Structure 1
Amino acid sequence: MRGSEFPSDWVRRWSHLIAPGSTVLDVACGAGRHLRWLHGLGHAVVGVDRSAEAVAASAHLGEMVCADIENGPWPFAGRQFGAVVVTNYLWRPLFPTLVASLAPGGVLVYETFAHGNETVGRPARPEFLLQPGELLAACASLRTVAYEDGFLEEPARFVQRITAVRELGGTGEPPRHRLASRPS
């Protein structure tokens, strides 16, 4: 387990959109690199992973759930979060559940491997690679704030990533999220 990894640039870039003090769900959280980052920003964090070792490594940060979300029930049925973060993980049947797990004004930050990655490394199997526009389609009911689909050099990989926001319920008014990052 590589628990000392830095958080994804995409997650760091867009985490300022998450309302202060929100509860953030990290799906397939692994050793907790995003949990640590988000906890450090003052958010309550919830992580889910099928690895008991990964869950134990981050237990001190917040609520950790060991569950096989591909073969078992969704462990957060009926719950909504101020943000949902997913990186380097793809289970297509989960897309509607992730979108439904966002509270009004909640932010989805998703980044994973895309078609083309098979030419530079792993994962290479089509079931683990997003097709062009696939995240946009999965997030059609959300307001897209940012979207990218292409090649990154360090390390060499093809990715697709989106940051999208659930509209505020009942008011018809979109959330007012700043697009510029917070000053350092």
Structure 2
Amino acid sequence: MALCAHMVCGAGAASPWVIRHSQLIQSGRVLDVACGHGRNLRPLLGSDLELFGVDRDPAGFAELNLAGVRTITLDLEQEMDEVLPFEDASFSALIVCNYLHRPLFPRLLKLLAPGGVMIYETFAVGNEEFGKPSRAEFLLKEGELLQLIASDPTVAMEVIAYESGYVDVPKPAQIQRICARRQGGAKQLNRLA
């Protein structure tokens, strides 16, 4: 099981990393992988974006569905034959926060449309000093997120922003986070806050 029970950004608050880079999502479909109760989709509600959330636990789906988010209950580790049942290049943005299942990365990259943005944030080696998650399968190795973004030679990604290090808020943690755009499509400005 690769779903992390402890949040980098708190149980109810959207990730500041996701909020900062969500301004790069101009239109289209957005998928939040391991969305939980949808904390990272909430800031996008009311936009013209088509929002999707997938998680193995549908506990938070009723409220998301009422808000117009399409949800899918799927255990991303156990149901590898049905991993993210969407067509390739069908999303303008992917959000992944506090979740790591390395075999899923090639599929995630293929889901991004040309010009699409991936916003990813999760725990890294060194987090075991601060609590959970502490097992190696839940922790990115040094620079691993950069390697995973470049792991499929058929999907060229441009890194917009990358950070690796220690954070204090909402609790001490060691993390890596990246925002990257799939190359291709119309040239877009990467407006940074």
Q: Shared fold (TM-score greater than 0.5)? A: yes
1:5 Cα deviation (Å)? 1.2
Question: In the comparison of the two structures, how many residue pairs are matched?
Answer: 176
Query: Paired residue for 2:124?
Result: 114
Query: Paired residue for 1:11?
Result: 18
Query: Paired residue for 1:45?
Result: 51
Query: Paired residue for 1:145?
Result: 160
Structure 2 residues without counterparts, runs of 5 or longer: 151-155
| 1:83-94 mapped onto 2 (5 Å cutoff) | 83-94=93-104
Mapped contact 2:21–2:192 kept (Cα < 8 A): no
**Equivalent-residue separation in structure 2 for 1:136 and 1:4 (angstroms):** 26
1:69 Cα deviation (Å)? 1.2
Query: Paired residue for 1:178?
Result: 190
Query: Paired residue for 1:78?
Result: 87
Query: Paired residue for 2:153?
Result: none
Which moves more between the two structures, 33-42 or 23-32? 33-42
SS in 2 for 1:164: strand
- CA-based RMSD of the aligned residues comes to 2.0
Percentage of identical aligned residues: 43
Which moves more between the two structures, 71-80 or 46-55? 71-80
Mapped contact 1:49–1:55 kept (Cα < 8 A): no
> TM-score with structure 1 length normalisation?
0.89
SS in 2 for 1:147: strand
Q: Is residue 39 of structure 2 the alignment partner of residue 33 of structure 1?
A: yes
Q: Is residue 178 of structure 2 the alignment partner of residue 162 of structure 1?
A: yes
Query: What is the letter of the counterpart of residue 163 of structure 1?
Result: C
1:177 Cα deviation (Å)? 2.4
Query: Paired residue for 2:72?
Result: 65
Structure 1 residues without counterparts, runs of 5 or longer: none
**Equivalent-residue separation in structure 2 for 1:15 and 1:128 (angstroms):** 25
> TM-score with structure 2 length normalisation?
0.85
1:22 Cα deviation (Å)? 1.7
Q: Is residue 141 of structure 2 the alignment partner of residue 134 of structure 1?
A: no
Greater RCO (Cα-Cα under 8 Å, separation 6 or more): 2
SS in 1 for 2:95: strand
**Equivalent-residue separation in structure 2 for 1:4 and 1:40 (angstroms):** 22
**Equivalent-residue separation in structure 1 for 2:42 and 2:70 (angstroms):** 12
